[in-house]
Amino acid sequence: MNTLQNASLSLLDLAPKTRQAARQLGVISTEVKDRAIQAIADALESAIPEILSANQADCQAAKGNIPEPLYHRLKLDENKLKEAIAGVRDLGKLPDPVGAIQMQRELDTGLILQRVTCPLGVLGVIFEARPDAAIQISSLAIKSGNGVILKCGTEAVRSCTEIVKVIRQGLASTAIDPDVVQLLTTREQTLELLKLDKYIDLIIPRGSNSFVKFVQDNTRIPVLGHADGICHLYVDAAADLHQAIAITVDAKTQYPAVCNAIETLLVHRAIASQFLPAVKDALDIREVELRGDEKTRQILSIKAATEEDWATEYNDLILSIAVVDALEDAIVHINQYGSRHTEAIVTEDSQAAATFLAEVDAAGVFHNCSTRFADGYRYGFGAEVGISTQNLPPRGPVGLEGLVTYKYRVTGNGHIVADYTGANGKEFTHKDLDRSSNSRKAL
């Protein structure tokens, strides 16, 4: 085992090493994994001064050369770092997602089928500035039994190199091969990584919309994440308008730069003339720029929204507004322009709510609450890898559970298929068995 980084190794040498190390990690007991996670936290704690000093060097080099918000994400202080380390310790306390028996069935006497969760293998995670992401992702990967190849942005190279070195040192004192965690630092390696479908089982890109799209277009490996977060709030004819105003303000302004903030407000025409001026007053206080369709602008004197507005994730204090004639029109608009992330309705009409929740095609469909609740922590998942807007599972906020897959185990005592075929073939019993006795039995 090698506690230093394999900086001199090419990705093609490094990826098989990670896969091999991940194979071993995949069958390690929960206790050993959790001890290793505490060892990582200990190592990081001891190395706080070194990590902060590496981060300071990154920040000095980046200051003025990268946009302000990126700089803020890059900058670590002791508090932020300690919080990340506390997150690692918390992760150690979550249930192990590996080894859960999801199904147990007798196919015939002595022939037992089980479906058991197991790690995916190796994750490829590409992220921008935030060095604390390296801490969070490495520990999530280990907890779920996966290897991980991290690729950080160039601006965070010194911080991430130090962090990954410390994590690997922490692992060196445990039963887990430090090669389960690797760091790439050059742009060329990103493209190379996306081609390694033989060694990487899931790509998790964390960055701008255009970057995520680039990743989706350039790999055959499954991608977990979302390019756009174009979320809507529909205020129905039967809405409680006070509630609707509070939810609009929260969903738009509580944190406008995140994916679960709304970009478009759809308003039923029956309450438009009453609701729109009131919601405008509330949004004006937060300095939200409004852009409206023609019907909205008959009520509010605001800038006109263009076709482009309906398809734009502002990530900013801008909100487009359209007046719709009916619930059905709101659903059509959302299914056309939404990014299948999170969509909400405000209404006291339970039938309208049921129709909206059923017919809107999105990972999250909300009734009388803010879209901002769409989040792994708020859902109680303990940790979140990201939010997926793909249709196939894992969908929506993805916790540890989304980093595992399953395999079917069948055990018999000499059973062969020939005995079950032809006129006198045996019949299968297909009897579901109780899982409770050993639902968390290790692999």
Contacting a second copy (CB under 8 A), which of 65, 79, 188, 217? 217
- Using the rule CB under 8 A, is 358 a contact of a second copy? yes
Closest separation in Å from C-beta 297 to a second copy: 27
Contacting a second copy (CB under 8 A), which of 380, 427, 436, 437? 380
Sequence-ordered alpha helix ranges (H) in 219-299: 241-253, 269-285, 294-297
Binding to a second copy (CB under 8 A) within 73-102 occurs at none
Binding to a second copy (CB under 8 A) within 118-137 occurs at 120-121
The whole-angstrom separation of Cα 232 and Cα 312 is 11
Q: Report the length, in residues, of the chain.
A: 443
The whole-angstrom separation of Cα 249 and Cα 271 is 18
Binding to a second copy (CB under 8 A) within 12-31 occurs at 23, 26-27
Write the CB contacts of 256 (distance below 8 Å, at least 6 apart in sequence): 314, 315, 316, 317
- Using the rule CB under 8 A, is 443 a contact of a second copy? yes
CB of 143 or CB of 158, closer to a second copy: 143
Binding to a second copy (CB under 8 A) within 49-78 occurs at none
The whole-angstrom separation of Cα 130 and Cα 276 is 39
- Using the rule CB under 8 A, is 33 a contact of a second copy? no
- Using the rule CB under 8 A, is 390 a contact of a second copy? yes
- Using the rule CB under 8 A, is 357 a contact of a second copy? yes
Binding to a second copy (CB under 8 A) within 409-428 occurs at 409-418, 420-421, 428
**DSSP state letter for 417:** G
Amino acid identity for residue 217 in this structure: D
Closest separation in Å from C-beta 149 to a second copy: 16
The whole-angstrom separation of Cα 65 and Cα 279 is 39
Closest separation in Å from C-beta 298 to a second copy: 28
CB of 106 or CB of 192, closer to a second copy: 106
- Using the rule CB under 8 A, is 142 a contact of a second copy? no
Which tokens in the block code for residue 19?
A: 């896969």
Contacting a second copy (CB under 8 A), which of 70, 373, 433, 435? 373
- Using the rule CB under 8 A, is 362 a contact of a second copy? yes
* DSSP output for 72-84: HHH---HHHHHHH
Binding to a second copy (CB under 8 A) within 323-352 occurs at 335
Q: Which helix (H) or strand (E) holds 132?
A: helix 132-143
The whole-angstrom separation of Cα 372 and Cα 262 is 8
